[in-house]
Amino acid sequence: MTRMVIHPLFLPLLFGMVLYGDVAYYAMILTSLVVHELGHLMAAKLVKVKVERCVIMPYGGEIELAGGASISPKKQLIIALGGPIATLCCIMVTPFLDQLFSEPFLKIQLILLLINLVPIWPLDGGRIVFSFILIFSKKTRRYEQFLLISLLAILLVVIITFIFLPKSLTIFVLSIFLFIKIVQEWRYRKYRLAFEKHVLKRLT
């Protein structure tokens, strides 16, 4: 059974939101994040990829897949699309909900969808772009270039949100978190590149 856990950073953010806002509204946020991640889990099950763990992040979530870089790009693409598709399903059911509930629920889904489709690592949009890079380009350096673009993009967001503090505090914290995740992936890149070269040599 897949373990689903909440990242430690999400808890203080959620606590702060509850402290200064409507508890029911933020319960909807947490529910929306869980549904989004269930979409990824169902997609992984569909392509027969085992999920080791699912972590609820402030921006959505991350799943740890058995096999790592050995998973085919097409399967990675399907898994990456699972979350946004689940969020789209939530958007489609909002017209059938009570009006008092549907308006904030729809707003949450749209924000979650827009954030996750931003084409930078490690968001779903970034993972979708990365999957297409692996599918259509045999040059492993494309992956490195994509990470560098993601790093520069999120660094720009960090700088802009820092200028508008404290109004932009939530986005600033999230952007810092994403920056750290991209830096971690950047450090890991040489292992992924080496792995892909090894696989390509075996296939040729």
- How high is the pLDDT of residue 91? 94
Q: Are 162 and 108 in contact (CB under 8 A)?
A: no
202, pLDDT greater than 50: no
199, pLDDT greater than 90: no
Amino acid of residue 129: V
Q: Are 10 and 62 in contact (CB under 8 A)?
A: no
Alpha helices in the chain (DSSP H): 10-20, 23-46, 73-93, 99-116, 124-136, 141-163, 169-203
User: pTM for this structure?
Assistant: 0.78
Report how far residue 27's alpha carbon sits from residue 7's, in angstroms, rounded to the nearest whole number.
16
- How high is the pLDDT of residue 24? 72
| Entry field: residues in the chain | 204
- How high is the pLDDT of residue 11? 64
Long-range contacts, 7-16 (Cβ 8 Å, 24+): 7/55, 7/56, 7/57, 7/58, 9/57, 9/58, 9/173, 9/177, 10/56, 10/57, 10/58, 13/58, 13/170, 13/173
The sign of the dihedral angle between the CA atoms of 170, 171, 177, 181 is: positive
Report how far residue 37's alpha carbon sits from residue 5's, in angstroms, rounded to the nearest whole number.
11
Which residue would you say has higher pLDDT here, 60 or 95? 95
Q: Rounded to 10 degrees, what is the CA torsion of 34, 179, 80, 70?
A: -120
Structure tokens at 142: 């494309």
- Burial category of 141 from C-beta neighbours within 10 Å (exposed 0-12, middle 13-18, buried 19 and up): exposed
194, pLDDT greater than 80: no
- How high is the pLDDT of residue 4? 63
- How high is the pLDDT of residue 58? 62
pLDDT, tens digit, for every residue of 111-156? Answer: 889 988 989 888 899 989 988 888 887 666 777 888 888 999 999 9
pLDDT, tens digit, for every residue of 66-101? Answer: 776 678 889 999 999 999 999 999 999 998 888 888
200, pLDDT greater than 50: no
- Burial code (b: 16+ CB inside 10 Å, e: under 16) for 26-64 equals bebbeebbebbbbbbbebbeeeebebeebbbbbbbbbbe
- How high is the pLDDT of residue 16? 61
- How high is the pLDDT of residue 146? 87
197, pLDDT greater than 90: no
- How high is the pLDDT of residue 14? 63
- How high is the pLDDT of residue 196? 57
pLDDT, tens digit, for every residue of 1-36? Answer: 566 666 666 666 666 666 656 667 777 887 888 899
